[in-house]
Chains A and B, each alone.
Chain A
Amino acid sequence: GDSVTQMEGPVTLSEEAFLTINCTYTATGYPSLFWYVQYPGEGLQLLLKATKADDKGSNKGFEATYRKETTSFHLEKGSVQVSDSAVYFCALRSGGSNYKLTFGKGTLLTVNP
């Protein structure tokens, strides 16, 4: 079945540091890939997505590229801010799955001033 494996946290960085959160997946067919972010006390929000190989999703300075050859969708940001502190979830949706998402375990990111 479908599965998502993402980097275990927590991750603690200083402001303006470079961020990478690794995510790999297994799925049948050609899934769509997502990163969701959950700020303290709030629901999950879609951060970015990619629907086919070599697509790059980007939003708020975050980027992730759909790599079919390595089945990966790593999240990166060149310079993190304190306001980026949150839990980040990698997720996939298989084709024809009627919007059912398979999530990774989540990675807690803390950015210190």
Chain B
Amino acid sequence: GAVVSQHPSRVICKSGTSVKIECRSLDFQATTMFWYRQFPKQSLMLMATSNEGSKATYEQGVEKDKFLINHASLTLSTLTVTSAHPEDSSFYICSAREGLGQGVGAAGANVLTFGAGSRLTVL
């Protein structure tokens, strides 16, 4: 089945530095990828939707200059947390939607595949 690889799984950084998290679709092309954030004992909150080759669409309240999203290819999206602060510490999860015309049919295009998540700790 479809697999999404997320890297790194854990990262610890100093306050003020930037951290990049990668989300790769390993065996399919993802026209759309979603980035979520999860606080302890809270729901997954959608941060932004990224479409290959275009600017990401951010949810209300998410700072686009703080959380830079790049979806430069059909298999890779990156989330960069810029000038990280302790309050940015969280669990970040990506998901990918298979693109149409990839031989998977309409049903496959409705499937979202999630990565295992990346735990960011900012000291």
Contacts and interface: CB of A to CB of B under 8 A. Distances in A.
A, B co-complexed: yes
Contacts, number: 44
A93 B42 CA distance: 18
Interface of A: 4, 36, 41-46, 89, 98-106
Given A43-B4, A43-B117, A99-B97, 8 more contacts: A36-B114, A43-B6, A43-B95, A43-B116, A44-B95, A101-B44, A102-B46, A106-B44
B43 interface: yes
Q: Range of interface residues on chain B?
A: 20 to 34
A24 to B, nearest CB: 14
B114 A103 contact: no
Given A99-B97, A100-B34, A105-B41, A43 B115 contact: yes
Contact of B49 (A4, A98, A102): A98
Nearest to A6: B43
A43 B46 CA distance: 16
